[in-house]
Amino acid sequence: MRTFFKINDQKTLAGNFQFALKDGVPKPVVDVVHDGDTINVSPAGHLGIRFLAIDTPEVSFKNPTTNSFIDIDRPEWIEYLSNLPNGFNGSDELKAYLENRLGPNCATNHAEHAEAARIYLVDAINSDMAELGVSEKDFPLFLVFSYEALDLYGRLLAYVHAGGKSPITNNYFVNYNRRLLESGMAEPYFMFPNIDPFRTRDSVFEAVHGLDSPGAILENASKLRHARGSVIAAREAGLGVFSTGNPLQLSPFELRFLARKSAPRSRMLINLGGADDSTLYPGDEYFRFPAEDRLWVPFEFVPLFETEGWASTN
């Protein structure tokens, strides 16, 4: 089972659980009922975690021609990503931009980068386990959540660390999100309000208050500035998806919206590279800005920015 959550016919996030376990066995009812409005449960199935603020190439995705999840290097994807899909709903500018990125080797290129990112993460986790001197059974994970704790697939949204401190450095482990970005294995995917500086505020209203420009956003956002700098450094060094010999041709989110045959219009964009550019751009104009300058703003939060003086272009 891919995840224990599902979306029902009413588009409500739902999931399957069981009573809390003790030694792998569900506890008696009397032990799981804490009080009249609280019980202790555990997930009935596997729980997926989607790393916040980054986007790695897709190993597999739902192919429109098969209507099933298949590996990206399969012939169906090779054919699908060779040309712009028929019926794709997007502007002429976006179509022209995408046509230059698609081709017969697009799917294979994507699959190669996806496997590289997967292997990098496997190696990083194995390295941390060795450093802690534990096996998979005892390996601790420390998750840091933000405003959104679940995505529409029922996966947890988090910054993921190996738990505890390194016995070698006596420092806490750097989260895998950051490591993947610094290594060039991932592209940035900055989404309001799940990143610095917004996620440390008490509410989404407070998160936007006083931030009337990209310059104001970045002024007190050291982690976001570091993340943007990491992307620039990885590109200059030709690492991972920015490889000078074999760069990633199609971004992960581009593959996803091409599969749905619809441009990314459910979010607006802020250009972090324009210090005084207080404009909210349509999501399908993302190609105007480098990946590290894209701050995605879901539609439901757009009015909050507009009250601070941001102006939408559509």
pLDDT tens for each residue of 59-94 = 999 999 999 999 999 999 999 999 999 999 999 999
- Token pair listed for 179: 């490591």
Rounded mean pLDDT, 88-102 = 96
Euclidean distance between CA atoms 112 and 178, whole angstroms: 21
Produce one character per residue of 51-85: b if its CB has 16 or more CB atoms within 10 Å, e if not: bbbbbbbbeebebeeeeeebbbbeebbbebbeebb
- Token pair listed for 209: 């208050």
Rounded mean pLDDT, 214-225 = 96
- Token pair listed for 168: 């070698």
Euclidean distance between CA atoms 102 and 84, whole angstroms: 7
More confident residue, 42 or 175: 175
**β-strands 279-282, 267-271: how paired?**
antiparallel
Q: Is the pLDDT of residue 311 over 70?
A: yes
Rounded mean pLDDT, 226-237 = 98
Share of the chain above pLDDT 70, in %: 96
Euclidean distance between CA atoms 222 and 196, whole angstroms: 8
Q: Tell me, what's the pLDDT at 281?
A: 97
- Torsion over CA of 190, 193, 198 and 200, rounded to 10 degrees? -110
Query: Locate tokens 């601070």: which residue?
Result: 308
Q: Is the pLDDT of residue 193 over 50?
A: yes
pTM, rounded to two decimals: 0.91
Determine the Cα angle at 165 with ends 159 and 166, to 5°.
110
Average pLDDT of every residue of the chain: 93
Produce one character per residue of 196-223: b if its CB has 16 or more CB atoms within 10 Å, e if not: bbbbeeeeeeebbeebbbbebbbeebee
Which 8-state DSSP code applies to residue 262? B
Query: How far is CA 287 from each of CA 93, 206, 313, rounded to the nearest angstrom?
Result: 9, 30, 16
Rounded mean pLDDT, 177-193 = 98
Long-range contacts of 209-213, Cβ-Cβ distance < 8 Å, separation of 24 or more: 209/308, 210/308, 211/308, 212/278, 212/308, 212/309, 212/310, 213/275, 213/276, 213/277, 213/278
- Token pair listed for 19: 């009573």
E strand or H helix at 109: helix 106-132
Q: Tell me, what's the pLDDT at 1?
A: 31
- Token pair listed for 254: 């581009």
Which 8-state DSSP code applies to residue 72? T
In 3D space, the residue among 17, 3, 15, 1 whose CA is nearest the CA of residue 47 turns out to be: 3
Euclidean distance between CA atoms 40 and 34, whole angstroms: 7
In 3D space, the residue among 133, 239, 231 whose CA is nearest the CA of residue 190 turns out to be: 231
In 3D space, the residue among 11, 20, 16 whose CA is nearest the CA of residue 1 turns out to be: 16
Give residue-wise pLDDT tens across range 251-290. 999 999 999 999 999 899 999 999 999 999 999 999 999 9
Q: Tell me, what's the pLDDT at 200?
A: 86
Single-letter amino acid, residue 51: F
Q: Tell me, what's the pLDDT at 10?
A: 55
Q: Tell me, what's the pLDDT at 11?
A: 62
For the chain, how many residues are written? 314
Rounded mean pLDDT, 107-113 = 98
Other CB atoms within 10 A of residue 14 CB = 11
**β-strands 68-71, 279-282: how paired?**
unpaired
CB-based contacts of 236: which residues, under 8 Å, 6+ apart? none
